[in-house]
Structure 1
Amino acid sequence: MADYIHEIRALVGHRPMILNTAAGALLDDHNRLLLQERADTGGWSFPGGYMEFGQSYAETCKREYLEDAGIEVEPLKLLRIFDDDFYTYPNGDQTQLITALYLVRQTGGKPLDHVTDETKQVKYFDLDKVPTLFNGQSNKMVQAVIDEVNSWQAG
């Protein structure tokens, strides 16, 4: 979690907060989706995270993807904004997450091959075989990616 969020949480404790986040959907040549196994909850999610003060959603996506997955990305398309999901972290922090999900392409780096403070591992998954996800919003995000891939195949 970013220093900005730690500073805010020090002031408000576990009270409900609206937080802006950005995430990226990276597909390989077989349309498999790269996901991150989170160190904090153990669930899987899209590489991404909290916006820092002064950053755009796209900048946040790029920064967080590199931190969480070890991969430099370029946002290609905003797939959707998710704004109706609530989550309580294991430490009691309550949030309403407003997340911008981008379709991204890799521009550098390589998938993490070691554990970090935020990531246990990263791995590609077939869209119909994703593991247990971090929260309901992540499930909706997978569906947005499936819808995007289906639109390519229909078009």
Structure 2
Amino acid sequence: MDGYLKEIRDLVGHRPMIFNSASGALLNDQGQVLLQERTDTGNWGFPGGYMEFGESYADTVVREFKEDAGVVVAPVKLLKLSDSLTYSYPNGDAVQPINCFYLVRHSSGRLLTAKTNETTALRYVDMDQPPTFFNAQHAEMFAVLKTYLAKNDNVG
């Protein structure tokens, strides 16, 4: 964590906070979705993260994909706004993330192949084989995407 969120956490410690975030679903030509193995839990989730001051949700998902996955994406459609989950990170930080979950399309770049401070691995997964997710919000996003794809003939 760096920048704006680190400044806030330095002031409030592990106290519960409400943060805005954005995540995205990037599909490949086989209808698989890109997921990120997280360094903090070892579980999987959609690339995304918390907004920096002055960003929009769309700006956030673009920045986070570049940081977490190495690719530039463009938001195509807002699939879900989630606001009811609370979660505590392994370090004790308690959050209620208000998350905009987008369907995104690839614009440029190649997937990262090296580990970063937030990403252990990246993998496209089949929609009928979900991994162990980071938290309930990511499992919910996977279900939302699966429903959307079923209603739209797997076309993003």
**Class of the TM-score when normalised by the shorter of the 2 chains:** over 0.9
Report the TM-score, using the length of structure 1 for normalisation: 0.97
Residue in 1 that maps onto 2:21: 21
Structure 2 spans left out of the alignment, 5+ residues:
none
TM-score (norm. length: structure 2): 0.97
Distance in 1 between the 2:93 and 2:26 partners? 28
CA contact (8 A) 1:2 1:52 kept: no
CA shift, 1:29, in A, is: 1.1
Q: Cα RMSD (Å) of the superposition? A: 1.2
1:43, 1:134 within 8 Å by CA — same for their partners in 2? Answer: yes
Please name the residue that 2:114 is paired with.
114
How do 1:72-151 and structure 2 match up within 5 A?
A: 72-151=72-151
Q: Which amino acid is 2:117 matched to?
A: D
Give the Cα–Cα distance (whole angstroms) in 1 for the partners of residues 143 and 2 of structure 2. Answer: 28
Matched to 1:58, the amino acid is A
Asked whether the equivalents of residues 72 and 109 of structure 1 are also in contact (C-alpha less than 8 Å), the reply is: yes
Q: Larger % of strand: which?
A: 1
Give every structure 1 segment of 4 or more consecutive aligned residues whose post-TM-superposition deviation is greater than 3 Å. Answer: none
1:154 Cα deviation after fit: 9.0
Figure out how many residues of one structure are paired with residues of the other and give that number.
155
Identity of aligned residues (%): 52
1:73–1:107 contact (8 Å) kept in structure 2: yes
Q: Distance in 1 between matches of 2:2 and 2:87?
A: 18
Task: Quote the Cα distance in structure 2 between the aligned partners of 1:129 and 1:97.
Answer: 25
